[in-house]
């Protein structure tokens, strides 16, 4: 769209516009493995692509498990979870560890971090005031199937909240 509008913007600059819609959109603009920097305005809150050799060999398989509730309220309540501050306290180290794993093309380290972060985020959203559990029995079945696959091949899971 930026090209169609004849805007002379870099992908990180475009990400600042996309971020106003969603954080995921900002990261999608820069693509692949991206870091969305937290900040207060467009000069410091933008997404940047992290170059890694892992992109070439990565394969993604998605399992769709229909939600029985929308997760927007869980996101709004996450800051009220007793786990929120603990999650925030370890976030910067986890980001540094992820960058290192990506730079070193360490597949297992990178995706173990991603899997654990996904579980941490889910725990935080599910321990908000409403205490909603969004996972379905099929969600747990997918987790277990991936862990079984992991005995023979490198496979990890994350969930969307």
At 93-120, the pLDDT tens digits run: 999 999 999 999 999 999 999 999 999 9
146 and 79 fall within a common domain: yes
Tell me what the mean pLDDT of segment 130-154 comes to.
94
Assess if residue 141 is contained within a domain.
yes
Helices (H), ranges, the chain: 11-18, 23-30, 72-77, 84-103, 107-126, 137-149
90 and 123 fall within a common domain: yes
Assess if residue 56 is contained within a domain.
no
65-99 pLDDT tens trace: 887 666 677 778 889 999 999 999 999 999 999 99
Please state the pTM of the whole predicted model.
Answer: 0.84
CA atoms within 13 A on the CB side of 147: 7
Split into its structural domains, the chain has a count of 2
Percent of the chain with pLDDT over 90: 50
- Give the whole-angstrom CA distance, residue 155 versus residue 58: 10
Which residues are registered as beta bridge partners of 34? 49
Q: Is 83 exposed, middle or buried (0-12, 13-18, 19+ CB in 10 A)?
A: middle
Assess if residue 131 is contained within a domain.
yes
pLDDT confidence band for 50 (50 / 70 / 90) = very high
138 and 66 fall within a common domain: yes
Assess if residue 118 is contained within a domain.
yes
Q: Which two tokens stand for residue 52?
A: 């890694």
88 and 153 fall within a common domain: yes
Which residues are registered as beta bridge partners of 88? none
Residue 43, SS3?
A: coil
* Phi-psi category of residue 31: left, alpha or beta, with phi > 0 → left and psi -120 to 50 → alpha: left
Q: Which two tokens stand for residue 39?
A: 């900040």
- Give the whole-angstrom CA distance, residue 116 versus residue 131: 20
């Amino acid at each position: 769209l930026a090209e169609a509008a004849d805007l002379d913007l870099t992908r990180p600059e475009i990400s600042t516009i996309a971020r106003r819609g969603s954080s995921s959109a900002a990261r999608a603009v820069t693509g692949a493995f991206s870091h969305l920097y937290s900040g207060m305005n467009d000069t410091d809150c933008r997404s940047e692509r992290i170059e890694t050799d892992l992109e070439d060999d990565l394969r993604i398989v998605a399992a769709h498990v229909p939600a029985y509730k929308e997760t927007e309220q869980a996101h709004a309540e996450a800051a009220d979870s007793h786990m929120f501050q603990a999650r925030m306290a370890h976030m910067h180290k986890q980001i540094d560890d992820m960058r290192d794993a990506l730079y070193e093309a360490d597949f297992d380290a990178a995706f173990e971090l991603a899997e654990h972060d996904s579980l941490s985020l889910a725990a935080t959203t599910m321990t908000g005031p409403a205490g909603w559990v969004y996972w379905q029995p099929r969600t747990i079945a997918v987790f277990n199937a991936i862990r079984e696959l992991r005995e023979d091949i490198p496979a990890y899971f994350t969930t969307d909240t």
